[in-house]
Structure 1
Amino acid sequence: MKKILLNTIKLAAIASVLSLSSCNKFIDILPVGYGQIPTALSDYEALLRDEYGNHRTDITQAVLLLNDKFETSGNLNYYPLYKANYNWNESADRIALNNADEGTYYNMYTGINTSNLIIGKAAGTTGGTDAQKAELIAQAKVLRAFDYDILANYYADTYEEANAGTKLSVPLILSADIGAPYTQVSIKELYDFMLKDINEAIPALGATSATVLHPNLGSANALKARILLQMGRYAEALAAANEALKYNDKLFDWTTFYNTYKTQIEAVNVYSNAPSPMGFNYVENYYFRHGSSSNAGREQSIRVDRATRFEQGDARFASRWKLRTVGADTYYTSITTGYFNVGGLTTTEVYLIKAECQARLNDVPGAMSTLNMVRVKRIFAANYAPLSATNTIEAVKLIQRTKRNELILGITPFADTRRLNKDANYAVTLSKTEGGQALTLTPNSRMWTMPFPQGASKNPGNGTIKQNVDK
């Protein structure tokens, strides 16, 4: 665990000299100069804005395990852990292989360290009103809960009420001090803590915030809805989703976007067609978060067999990916460039949380109406027809089809698949043919929980870490 603190020394506690190399793209602000000790509220607010350190989520192994992206043979051969997850190798010792793929773990704890620093020190700063200080602390609590939710759904088993109190989750660190003690808490304790952070934050948050990197009431309630859905507390999750939608209920019209760029999109052998609409100003944003990088670029490529699971006439898919063959590889390549909110919170996710909660609470017509509100903005008019369902199981399956496609390349499809795999009504066995070999990943596979990286487990610092998987 010492490595976490060494990796985050650039965001160190007040007792240490602070030196931060900022990679901001959204707001290019260096929080404080080299050798300065932050004392003003504006210094801590600037720390929160650091995109590279605090608003970046690398969940590569989860996306590989789902086979939601196309991976090159070169990467599979070079990175044994990639190959193990991508090809569902149950015999692979992923603990031994996870000696370098540490981004998910340390990126999240870097953000947590920043949040802990703000929570612990912002109230005593100079400048700013008490309300402004309380708001910044509240924003840090939401971001801390967000980071812990990623960790919980990556390195620990999914939440199940029957065993959440006895299974271990991840280290709960509440201080930015170097050498601070910590405890690897149970899954239940971590989920309760995340909800506590959010509920404490909500009274101090505003309906709007300084930037899309600063949580507000919409993003806090959206995150609350996500966590409550993971816990199976459907009535509460529905209430939180409805509360989030009070602050933003907009949906982007992908059919209009496609028609705007149709000539370029349909041009033969042209693979750079349009600017990404999913950046900082995306109308669906509650909170923006990058994927593995904070640089402008393209999205990850999609496997051909994964592309078949999108609905026919899906304008969102057609606007973002295009079939391409390079040498022996055929895949769907990204055709938009810019920034992509694949790691944050959007209205689409909240609508689909709402839809599942309505279905679970036996309001199947209401659930399908909510689902179709999203679909009508995605499916070309020639292909669109409202969906209906006769029961909860049928409705949830249709909602999940849309949700997995809408939120592809983010953590939510992985978290949802793990959650639903615990219910025989929704559990799925993934299958594919790779190199002429038939491969499968079962719902009860140990591979659905990622091992802690060796850097963490071998250097636990002032605490202990127990692996949540056997290999």
Structure 2
Amino acid sequence: MNQKMKKNLLTTISIALLAITAGLSSCNDFLSVVPKGQKIPTTLADFDALLRDEYGNQRTNVTQAILLLNDKFESASNLSYYQLYSANYNWDENADRIAFNHSDEGTYYNGYAAISTSNLIIEHAAEATEASEADKAQLIAQAKILRATNYFVLANYYADTYEEVSAASKLSVPLITSADIDAPYVQVSIKELYDFMLKDIEEAIPNLRPAGATILHANLGAAYALSARIHLQMGHFDKALSAANEALKQNDKLYDWTQFYTQYKTQIEQVNVYTNAPSPMGYDYVENYNFRHGVSIYRSNESNIRTDRATRFEPGDAKFASRWKIRTVGADTYYKSITNGFFNYGGLTTTEVYLIKAECLARQGDVTGAMNILNTVRKKRILPTVYADLTAATKQDAIRLINRTKGNELILSITPFADRRRLNKEEDYAQTLSKTENGKNLSLSPASHMWTMPFPQGAIKNHGNGSIQQNVSK
């Protein structure tokens, strides 16, 4: 193995361990933190093991986005201890979140760790032994989907949402395409980053297969689903619809949550019992195109939900009722998570693609078609005793109903946050969030600077071979 290859691998491992080595942030350059005794990959199986590393590369931490949306219940003790949590959760527009963001670095470093692994595979898997050319090309393609997935999260977290009129002039996040130690990089424009993600997907598709080795490996459906997500975010509705249709050709299954609720109804409704049923949203969830964890692979429960957030689920929503139950502990009342297992927060699913297709149809004026798609999803969610088809008189009404369901379906993932950011840019769909907290009426404007998260201080101070400019004032 050549020296450059060794340096590449060590960089990948170093970045993956940044969260663990946070105490070393006083070093001049975080990329100089190099662990010892690591194996150098030579076979395709070695490279594959890097990609499927669940803790390092297959998780998506979007904690602050979920807090800003108020899509989870946060304890008073956490809000008191973590200033950044409190600022986002309570929509404190005067808070200096840049100063507070000195430890909440998981989104940034987890994302770039997976990108570094992807870069290593893309650069060197073609040299791997014990594999066919087709298998090597497939793994490289899967690494490109992983890279694009992580760039989508980073772009929709640390930079403004995509708008055609300003995408070429506003900065996004650092674009790193090499796993070399001290590889130079540029903080590119929003347009450049979106173009790069789409290029990765376009190059990957010819080498992907209908199924990967595991559900952690992107397949053809995952590539089309990611393309649909990115084009929707860009407002390219025709292209998003085309990609959604291609994804649904690969997998169009929907899980029947009404049957799940019926199966576990006695346990779910048992008084004072809050751990009942196994999560069906794990590796073998029929809706999966691919699977990625949320904050951690070791967490076996979902986050708890605020009582006011729970009211935005439809009556009779079996998926909601199967996952959360109201509970009071001391002064706190919230909806407690009641399923155990794994949850696909970072991957792509058929539900998301169905709802992308529905919105695109509505945007084209096919309101009836859009509502038919929406109701196709709802029939697998709303209990038959409550269910009734939803109708819409206008495309605006249809899009609001579609995104209400989508926000509920994909809660605790990056998608509701990304959707709310893009919809806030349109007068018909912009929304002011409001709540009452400790007797105070609070609100968050759709135009607030808080919809863009500040880069962590570690990234700004120890920026490696490039420079990073904050995309938000505070």
What TM-score bracket applies, with the shorter chain setting the length? over 0.9
1:381/1:465 CA distance change after superposition, 3 Å: same
Matches within 5 A, 1:229-248: 229-248=232-251
RMSD of equivalent CA atoms: 1.7
- From 262, 266, 279, the counterpart of 1:263: 266
Deviation (angstroms), 1:173: 0.1
In the other structure, the counterpart of 1:338 is 341
1:17/1:116 CA distance change after superposition, 3 Å: closer
1:437/1:15 CA distance change after superposition, 3 Å: closer
Matches within 5 A, 1:320-469: 320-469=323-472
Deviation (angstroms), 1:39: 1.3
1:96/1:17 CA distance change after superposition, 3 Å: closer
In the other structure, the counterpart of 1:74 is 77
In the other structure, the counterpart of 1:192 is 195
In the other structure, the counterpart of 1:92 is 95
- From 116, 127, 140, the counterpart of 2:130: 127
Cα pair 1:20 1:34 within 8 Å, conserved:
no
Cα pair 2:12 2:113 within 8 Å, conserved:
no
Cα pair 2:16 2:109 within 8 Å, conserved:
no
Cα pair 1:111 1:147 within 8 Å, conserved:
yes
Residue 215 (structure 2) pairs with residue 215 (structure 1): no
Paired amino acid for 1:242: N
Residue by residue, what CA displacement relative to the aligned partner does 1:421-447 show, whole Å, maximum 9, x if unpaired?
A: 000100000000101000000000000
- 2:46 aligned counterpart, secondary structure: helix
Unmatched segments (≥5 aa) in structure 2: 1-5, 18-35
Residue by residue, what CA displacement relative to the aligned partner does 1:375-397 show, whole Å, maximum 9, x if unpaired?
A: 00000111111111111101000
Residue 287 (structure 2) pairs with residue 284 (structure 1): yes
In the other structure, the counterpart of 2:3 is none
* Structure 2: distance between partners of 1:17 and 1:323: 43
In the other structure, the counterpart of 1:224 is 227
* Structure 1: distance between partners of 2:376 and 2:230: 23
Residue 252 (structure 2) pairs with residue 249 (structure 1): yes
Cα pair 2:15 2:109 within 8 Å, conserved:
no
Cα pair 1:19 1:36 within 8 Å, conserved:
no
State the percentage of identical aligned residues.
68
1:126/1:399 CA distance change after superposition, 3 Å: same
* Structure 1: distance between partners of 2:252 and 2:190: 32
Residue by residue, what CA displacement relative to the aligned partner does 1:400-419 show, whole Å, maximum 9, x if unpaired?
A: 11000000000000000000
Deviation (angstroms), 1:338: 0.4
- 1:368 aligned counterpart, secondary structure: helix
* Structure 1: distance between partners of 2:139 and 2:122: 8
In the other structure, the counterpart of 1:4 is none
Deviation (angstroms), 1:127: 1.3
Residue by residue, what CA displacement relative to the aligned partner does 1:336-372 show, whole Å, maximum 9, x if unpaired?
A: 0000011211000000000000000111110000000
* Structure 2: distance between partners of 1:181 and 1:264: 55
Deviation (angstroms), 1:223: 0.3
* Structure 2: distance between partners of 1:361 and 1:370: 14
Deviation (angstroms), 1:34: 3.9
- Which 4+ stretches in 1 moved above 4 angstroms? 14-22
- 2:144 aligned counterpart, secondary structure: helix
* Structure 1: distance between partners of 2:148 and 2:257: 31
In the other structure, the counterpart of 2:29 is none
* Structure 2: distance between partners of 1:253 and 1:16: 44
- From 106, 109, 126, the counterpart of 2:109: 106
Cα pair 1:18 1:34 within 8 Å, conserved:
no
Q: What is the TM-score with the length of structure 2 in the denominator?
A: 0.93
- From 4, 8, 15, the counterpart of 1:13: 8
